[in-house]
Amino acid sequence: GAPQAPITQPIAAPVSAPEMVSRRRRVAIAALAIAVVVVAGLGAAIATLRRRDTISGALTGAAIGWVIGAWGAPELGAGSSVWSTFALAIPGAIIGVRAARPDVPDEAGRDRMDRRSRAFIFLGPALLFVTTNLVVPALRTLYLSLFDRNSEEYVGLDNYRTIFTNPKSWDTSTWRDMFTSQLMWVGLALLVLFVILGIRGKRRTGRVIELGSASSGPLLGAVVLIGFAVFTTVRGTIVNNLWWVLVVTLFSTSLGLAIAVLADGLKGERIAKSIIFMPMAVSLVGASVIWRFMYIARDSAKTQTGVFNSLWVALGRLSTGDGLPTLIIGAIVTIIFGLLLVNIARNLARGEPARAAAPAVFAILVGWFLIRYWRITGTGVGGHRIKDDGTIVAQPINFIQDPPFNNFWLMIVLVWIQTGFAMVILSAAIRAVPTELIEAAKVDGATDSQVFWRVTLPQIGTNRRRARHADLHLGGADHVPQHPPHAEGVLR
């Protein structure tokens, strides 16, 4: 047949840089205009409903809408310095016009303005700091999470689907292992002990859970151990973050509260609290260097220089030896075990089994240590290993490299830093508790434990939340990743 004409397709003309900038500006200006009109209308409507000046409300809304449209809509880094200056100057000019409007309030209005201005002066800088450094980045992160990794193409919830389907983020393939974990079984045993003590305590106090009672100790231990059993078997970035947030927040706040209570009014309190607060002045890099010397593990043929491994290996040498130091340490631990048994017997004889619960738990742990130490069963305790030829060699622990508890040892670094901060806040709150309340509780026959749990602790609830929020932010944002190669690099 006849030759067909070649099929031609129109070729799009190249877009020059000025045209791209113009398109970006048109999109930005459109978003800016929409934001100004919408927020100005909202401001006018709110002012009308509150029976205030409608124009003043519209001007305030226009200034807020300008800030949203000028800084929230366009792509950051794509504009010029002139545009940035213009974007900053306009809302200031609008606020100036709003402030210059003739508005002569009556006496009640002046009083109201005086009260509100004080709140604005004192809270304004703090709210501005929190908004610009926490709220705005959080909202922008949420917005960017709906786009691809280049923040260009809208992908909706695909990123969230990827997170929950990626094994590196959420791995439940080994969740059944938690039921064979020793931590789980010990935690369940403590939970059973709590139930027994709670039932007996309910007959006396009418409550199963009584803060400060002997039953609260087994409950806390059960929650911690069962939680560790779950977090060490269910792996992934999401679980790792939850583990960090819960453990760092709980431990640092609890330790800070305990130190604040126990050191209150003691001799040398200021010196002790100053030492405990010192880690707050240490950077994370400095803390990593310090704790590297605590955790470092050398070859088994070399002398251990890390503090923990030195003690661990030394304990192994003692438990496998038969010299005088071995006998002295064993005798001391045996005496402690005997004192615990005496304490348990006294509490049972007095008809107070709840008070015997905590000594019983410690007695079980110390008894297990003695059985292993005297080699009644096993080959001893501590960092040692018996080879096939009968020789004993050191066996240090790789705290940072060995999963799954390498995460926990890294958490201790952050807890060490944050405990001082929680201690300072809670110590100041405890001192602010009215002494009249404490004296009235003691006159009514309350014990020191009851005064703390039922009077002091409820009074410092706001400060406890503040300390938890600070620990939550640091524990959730600045922790070390879970993977051993990354964690290893931090402390090396």
pLDDT string in tens for the chain (492-residue length): 444 444 444 444 444 444 444 444 444 677 778 888 888 899 889 888 887 778 888 888 888 888 887 776 656 555 567 777 777 788 888 888 887 776 666 677 677 778 878 888 888 888 888 888 888 889 999 999 999 888 888 999 999 988 888 888 888 888 888 999 989 999 999 888 888 877 777 777 666 666 666 677 788 889 999 999 999 888 888 888 999 999 999 999 999 999 998 888 888 888 999 999 999 988 889 999 999 999 999 888 888 889 999 999 989 888 887 788 889 999 999 999 999 999 999 988 887 777 787 888 889 999 999 998 888 887 788 888 877 777 888 889 999 888 888 899 999 999 999 999 999 999 988 888 888 988 998 898 888 888 888 888 888 876 566 566 566 655 555 554 444 333 333 333
pLDDT value of position 8: 44
Note whether 321 and 360 are same-domain residues.
Answer: yes
Q: Does residue 46 lie within any of the structural domains?
A: yes
pLDDT value of position 248: 92
pLDDT value of position 308: 94
Q: Does residue 246 lie within any of the structural domains?
A: no
Q: Does residue 202 lie within any of the structural domains?
A: no
Q: Does residue 2 lie within any of the structural domains?
A: no
**Three-state secondary-structure class, residue 386:** strand
Using the 3D structure, point to which of 144, 165, 186 is the last residue of a domain.
Answer: 165
d(C-alpha 38, C-alpha 54), whole Å = 14
Nearest partner of 44 among 64, 27, 30, judged by Cα: 64
Provide the b/e sequence for 459-474 (b: ≥16 CB within 10 Å): ebeebbeebbebbbeb
Q: Does residue 477 lie within any of the structural domains?
A: no
Note whether 133 and 59 are same-domain residues.
Answer: no
Query: φ and ψ at 435, to 5 degrees?
Result: -65, -25
d(C-alpha 357, C-alpha 404), whole Å = 30
Note whether 317 and 346 are same-domain residues.
Answer: yes
d(C-alpha 70, C-alpha 446), whole Å = 61
Using the 3D structure, point to which of 367, 393, 419 is the last residue of a domain.
Answer: 393
* Cβ 330 vs Cβ 320: under 8 Å: no
**Three-state secondary-structure class, residue 30:** helix
**Three-state secondary-structure class, residue 102:** coil
Name 162's Cβ contacts closer than 8 Å, sequence gap at least 6: 169
Note whether 304 and 380 are same-domain residues.
Answer: yes
Note whether 385 and 352 are same-domain residues.
Answer: yes
* Cβ 227 vs Cβ 468: under 8 Å: no
Domain extent at residue 148 = 119-165
Q: Does residue 17 lie within any of the structural domains?
A: no
Note whether 49 and 131 are same-domain residues.
Answer: no
The total number of structural domains that make up the chain = 3
Q: What pTM, to 2 d.p., does this model score?
A: 0.69
* Cβ 166 vs Cβ 222: under 8 Å: no
Note whether 319 and 347 are same-domain residues.
Answer: yes
Note whether 59 and 127 are same-domain residues.
Answer: no
Instruction: Give the helix, strand, coil percentages of the chain, each rounded to 5.
Output: 70, 0, 25
Note whether 57 and 123 are same-domain residues.
Answer: no
Provide the b/e sequence for 298-328 (b: ≥16 CB within 10 Å): eeeeeebebebbbebbbbbbbbbeeeeebee
Is residue 45 exposed (0-12), middle (13-18) or buried (19+ Cβ within 10 Å)?
Answer: middle
Q: Does residue 364 lie within any of the structural domains?
A: yes
Note whether 90 and 145 are same-domain residues.
Answer: no
Using the 3D structure, point to which of 393, 428, 462 is the last residue of a domain.
Answer: 393
d(C-alpha 166, C-alpha 169), whole Å = 5
d(C-alpha 242, C-alpha 482), whole Å = 12
Q: Does residue 263 lie within any of the structural domains?
A: no
Residue written as token pair 């303005």: 113
